[in-house]
Every structure is written in structure tokens, then in C-alpha cells.
Amino acid sequence: MKRKTIFCLLFLIIFFSLAFSQNYYFEIPSYDVDVYIQKDASIDIYYEIVFKPVSGYHAIDIVDIGFPNEFYSRSSVRAKINGKDIPLSQIKKSAYIPIGVEIHLYSDQILPGKQGTLWVYGNNPNMVHQDSEKEDYASVVFAPTWFGSQYVRGTTKLSIRIHFPPGVQPDETVYHKNQYTHTYIDADGRRVFSWNYNTASMTSAITVGVSFPKKYVDRIYKPSALMYFKKFFLGLIGFLFNPCMIFI
């Protein structure tokens, strides 16, 4: 079922970009993100991003990753570089973005001409909202990290996968605007919508969304008027300046 409209103020969007010196220039050969919708109205986010700094430019040694709202659980964040666990002491509150963490790679920095895979997990509460069209439905909208066009070379093989809460049936699922590439059942029995792009441009937002009966979650998040304003303000800053992922 196709969603005709999207309620723009009730969205779960992660604003990311690069804010670093002109010496940074890289490719993103592949990019995978899995979003698991939980019964408590949170989402579990799993990123697996392959970076390849262009020869002659700066190594990637610190990564700042933003989260959708200030309710994110910093203690839940875990990261790996090339399969190696990054110590929790190297995952800190970001000094550069208002909502997010900075991940220090130290000796595991990704060198120019080489390729490195960064894996990041984090839980973010209050991510399931009331659907804008059906009273008995809930809604989740998500956009993965994107980057400044001046720092990225080429296109990316991108996969975005949203895993519905357990029990959601095929005829109860709705997608928003951009139709999924295919659907399947994951190892835990959850229905999944997958959006696949062979030549994605990771220099702008690629937004996907789903709706489902809210009986499958214990609650939905109802932001206050102040929270709506904060989301709008942070979204405006993200749109104008993209200050959410920083390599130093």
C-alpha cells in the first residue's frame, strides 16, 4: 500500500554530514543500515559503512555520528573498525554536534588509498510516532547519514532495511512515498522492507518510511510543542550546515 502523503513534522531522520578541513576526500563503496523498530517505541540502528580515503588526502581518524533526538542512549553505543571492537573509552559525547558521539580510531585510522569498514550500533528511544492518516497506525520515517558533496567522490551501493515489530502481517504494512525494492522475513521472523540503490549519492538525504498498526508497540511517542520546535530548529541547522559527522 502506498502512502500518499508524509507528515513532515513527525519524522525520524538522522542528520549527518562532514565538517572538516579541505584535506579530506574519500569514497564510500558500500553502505548498509538496519533499523529495528522495538515495542517500546525505540529503534535500534546498525550502520556498516565502508570508507576509502583518496590517496593524497587526510586519513579518517575520528568519526562523529549524530542521533535523531536527545533521548538517544549514549551508553548503548558500540562500534567496530574492520571487525575490531573499539573500546568504550574511545566513544565519547561529541564535542562538535549537539546530539551524538565521537568515535576515536587512533591507530586504526583509515589511511589514504586503503579501505576501512566502520560498524556502529545505538538505541534511540521515542522514535515511533502516531501515523498522520490512520488513527490506529504508527509511523517511522528514517534517512541514513549523508555527507558534504565536496568531500565525497563517486557513488555508493546503498541498502536501507527497516525491520517491523514482531507479528506485523503483510497486509498491515505501508510504505511511504519511495517504494521498497523487496520484502522478506528476517532470521527473527520479522517482516523487512529493503531499499537498494546501486549508484546512490550520499551527499543528500535518502528518506524512507513505514507505517503499521500501533497494537504492535507498547506506546507511541507524542512530542510536546517545545519538542516540535526543537526538531524544526535542529532540522534547519542540519539542512543549512550539515554539522553531524566530523572527521578530524
**CATH number of the domain encompassing residue 83:** 2.60.40.1730
Q: Model pTM?
A: 0.83
- Residue 157 falls inside a structural domain: yes
How many distinct structural domains can be found in the chain?
1
- Residue 168 falls inside a structural domain: yes
Residue 179's domain comprises 2-241
- Residue 88 falls inside a structural domain: yes
- Residue 171 falls inside a structural domain: yes
- The length of the chain is 248
pLDDT in tens, 151-200: 899 999 999 999 999 999 999 999 998 999 999 999 999 999 999 999 99
Query: What value does the mean pLDDT take over residues 50-64?
Result: 94
- Residue 246 falls inside a structural domain: no
Per-residue pLDDT, 236? 60
Of the two residues 143 and 228, the one the predictor is more confident about is: 143
- Residue 178 falls inside a structural domain: yes
- Residue 38 falls inside a structural domain: yes
The CA distance from 52 to 77, in Å, is 23
pLDDT in tens, 194-244: 999 999 999 888 999 999 999 999 999 998 766 555 655 655 655 554 433
Residue 37 has pLDDT above 90, yes or no: yes
- Residue 145 falls inside a structural domain: yes
CB contact set of 52 (below 8 Å; sequence gap of 6+): 26, 27, 28, 29, 110, 113, 114, 115, 116
The CA distance from 48 to 165, in Å, is 22
